[in-house]
Amino acid sequence: MDLGLKGHVIVVTGGASGIGEAVTRACLDEDAKVVVVSRVSENVEHFIEEMQREEKPCDFIESHLEDPAQCRRAVEYVQQKYGRLDGLVNNAGANDGVGLASGDPDRFLESLRQNLVHYYAMAHYALPMLKEAKGSIVNISSKVALTGQGGTSAYAAAKGAQLALTREWAAELLPFGVRVNSVLPAEVLTPLYKRWLDTRDDPAAALKSITNKIPLGHRMTEGSEIAAMTVFLLSSKQSGHTTAQHLIVDGGYTHLDRALT
């Protein structure tokens, strides 16, 4: 399927690891120009080098996204270098376990800066270019926004707000032809997820316990499956009448009866 993304400029926050890396790869496979906005790490450097070796180079902007000024500078870089922006994938963030009892108001606010505020900041600063291109925003949220999890109040608040912002922005941007949607993963074996599993007494048993609860195939969702939905939503050619939607890619984990597992 031709998604019509060749030559399009797409920004992916946190786009060099986990789900973000899968989204970047999928966009590059469609011959889009990808700008990764992320902190620098050894894994990020390896990914950028790998893409260069595969002759699928992507641009990289080092940014601490919790700082709105750095979000602004990242967007200004895109404006100066490319002069356009066709798609924004808000993805960066992590479940930091700031719960009602285990956290405090200061940690809660810091978590919102890490997981939510940059979604708004990036969209705010990118808006003129997105309007000009009649582009698309895809917010990567989480099933936690719908189900709760326990012990993660701040992350749940951020993810729920991302869903609310998806519909709010879709409504506000209707006159400009800018589409806004969200994708909700549940259980995806990202590097962050693997690090969490490694803190369990028996990581293999913990993983087995989780996959047994996933109705379709009793397996984790692949990052590439989240990415496939994301690039479809970025495509005005193939999803040009899709906006304000929350698309859940989770093998039935969120909605199907647990009796099935």
Burial level of 140, CB count in 10 A (0-12/13-18/19+)?
buried
**In whole angstroms, what is the distance from residue 133 CA to residue 88 CA?**
12
Phi and psi at residue 7, in whole multiples of 5°? 80, -10
SS3 112: helix
Are the C-beta atoms of 119 and 40 separated by less than 8 Å?
no
SS3 30: coil
Q: Is 125 annotated in the active site? A: no
Among 41, 45, 39, smallest CA distance to 74 is for 39
CA dihedral 193, 194, 195, 200 (to 10 degrees): 100
Q: Which of 119, 155, 193, 253 is catalytic?
A: 155
**In whole angstroms, what is the distance from residue 99 CA to residue 117 CA?**
19
**In whole angstroms, what is the distance from residue 148 CA to residue 231 CA?**
27
Are the C-beta atoms of 8 and 86 separated by less than 8 Å?
yes
The alpha carbon of 92 is separated from its chain's Cα centroid by a whole number of angstroms, namely 6
Q: Rounded to a whole number, what is the distance in angstroms from the first to the last CA of the chain?
A: 34
**In whole angstroms, what is the distance from residue 165 CA to residue 54 CA?**
36
Catalytic residue ranges? 155
